[in-house]
A and B are shown apart, each in its own frame.
Chain A
Amino acid sequence: MRPMRWVQEYGPPGLVFAALLAGWEVFVRLADLPPYILPSPALVLETLVTDRATLFPALLTTLKITLGALAAAVLGGGGLAILFSQWKWIERSFLPVAIVLQVTPIVAIAPLLLIYLEPSSAVLVCAFLVAFFPILSNTALGLASTDRNLVDLFQLYRASRWRTLLLLRLPAALPYFLGGLRIGGGLALIGAIVAELAAGAAGQGAGLAFRILEAGYRLNIPRMFAALTLLSLTGIAIFAVLSVLSAYLLGRWHESAMSAER
């Protein structure tokens, strides 16, 4: 019964994916397309292996920047949300600024950042800025939507503000925070890529986006696809890790982590 369920669950999407790749491969072969127009999946895979000395250090660079920016966004966004929830005047003072920054497509400031900062710092700051706001606004929303009755109960038992935050508001905000984290994780990668494209930085510390640009200039299309594949896998990995984290933390108590059968 168990393997049967597994097949039912993962079979259809797996088949669709395999069919897409196979269709692509067949199309390239039948149309006899040269690799500089459209490389076949097999060639992309081959390029991944042959160009690993170029691609994997670039992946590492992009990954480091993305995760660093995400970590900073968690600390900054989460911390600011806690300050907002504790002192209303801070929220009133900073919220308009936060909203202006949120509705502005932050990636557009990447060229500006490059004027003021080293390319590597500019990329980090850009990735941080785009990941920061979803985490801030989601966490702030979570902290503000604590059950009124539970707040009353804590007040009845004379709980200090600190203990109310620690034992009530923070756990209550956790699902919202994790939602923000998942959005922020994806956005941090986008922010890093956009800034890398704008920076066009070469040399030792070049990230995957720069490798894509560079390969494009050289008409090395298979390498472009290989780098793109790595980016896509990175995005999937970030999403998967954060989903697993979310399921682990919310497992037994939150609706979002429950299977539909219950």
Chain B
Amino acid sequence: MICGRANEADWQEIRSAPFMLQMIAPRRLISLQGVGKTYKNGATALAGVDLEVRDGEFLTLLGPSGCGKSTILRLIAGLDSPSTGVLTRSFDDVGAALGFVFQEPTLMPWASVFDNVYLPLRLRGLSRQSAGPAIMEALGLVGLAASAKAFPRELSGGMRMRASIARALVLRPLLLLMDEPFAALDEIARFRLNDDLLRLQGAAGATIVFVTHSVYESAYLSTRILVMAGGPGRIVAEIASEDRSPRDENFRSSPAYARICAKASQALQDAMQGDY
């Protein structure tokens, strides 16, 4: 916990909301029932999606490009609304309870790393000074404390993504939504960020919904994988990772990991078969 100085009261109000919810929340944070999404141009992105996000899990949506994975994240975040079906959240204040990480780091190029991470707090009315400790804590979590004053273009791709994650974490969200965040990174950076992300999840106690088209990434990270198929987007398989061993380099070469990869690959292949 951070010990704020001046505006401890503000802090408590803002930060306790998700924590309180966490204590009294049902095990289901998000639930989608028969959700479909048709855009104005007539394209159907999703049809009949049933899905729930459970407290504390690492849920991955795995599927080919254009199968509606990102649409599900946008619906959960309230950036779009479903055309059919029902979406319920266990919380009201979406801005406080959710963190969103895009495929691109999506940082404001004119602002320092510090000010980029300050953004969610700023939009909630906190002064730069009283937000300072929380910002530095979030930057510390992603290993960027030393780069607080740097500008985005002075950072590597991996560091920019870390800054983006710090911004998503700074409000201590209940639920972190990540839309193929590491797709643009090289494999070495991706592996490191995968490990860091799991460590962060442990430290921040957040639930994560993660979108990827990498079977290996999904197998490494997830407690549960939902395999999706396109045209229109739907969920075709669910793979629960029964293995609870620590996720590290050893896990990457373990039989359990190979089993999940095989299952996910097979499900993905079955899903794609219908499309061709």
A residues touching B (Cβ–Cβ < 8 Å)? 147, 149-150, 152-159, 163, 167-168, 171-172, 174, 252-255, 258
Contact = CB atoms under 8 A, between A and B. Distances in A.
A142 to B, nearest CB: 12
B123 A158 contact: yes
Given A155-B79, A157-B123, A149 B102 contact: yes
25 contacts: A149-B104, A149-B106, A150-B106, A150-B108, A152-B77, A152-B79, A153-B106, A156-B94, A156-B98, A157-B95, A157-B124, A158-B95, A158-B123, A167-B119, A167-B122, A168-B108, A172-B108, A172-B110, A252-B151, A252-B153, A252-B154, A253-B151, A253-B153, A254-B109, A255-B153
Q: Which 10 A-B pairs rank lowest in CB-CB distance, beginning with the nearest?
A: A149-B106, A157-B123, A253-B109, A157-B95, A149-B102, A158-B95, A253-B110, A171-B110, A159-B123, A252-B151
Interface in B73-116: 74, 77-79, 94-95, 98, 100, 102, 104, 106, 108-111
Q: Which residue of B102, B109, B152 has the most chain A CB atoms within 10 A of its CB atom?
A: B109
A175 to B, nearest CB: 9
Contacts of B74: 152
A113 to B, nearest CB: 39
B120 interface: yes
Contacts of B78: 156
Contacts of B152: 253
Report, as a range, how many residues of chain B touch the other chain. Answer: 20 to 34
Contacts of B106: 147, 149-150, 153
A153 B122 CA distance: 13
Contacts of A258: 153
Contacts of A171: 108, 110-111
A156 B79 contact: yes
B100 to A, nearest CB: 6
Contacts of A154: 123
A156 B93 CA distance: 10
Given A149-B102, A156-B77, A174-B110, 17 more contacts: A150-B106, A150-B108, A152-B77, A152-B79, A152-B100, A153-B102, A153-B119, A155-B79, A156-B78, A157-B119, A157-B124, A158-B123, A167-B122, A253-B110, A253-B151, A253-B153, A258-B153
A153 B100 contact: yes
Contacts of A168: 108
Contacts of A157: 95, 119-120, 123-124
Contact of B100 (A147, A156, A253): A156
B99 to A, nearest CB: 9
A167 to B, nearest CB: 7
Interface string B121-159: 011100000000000000000000000000111100000
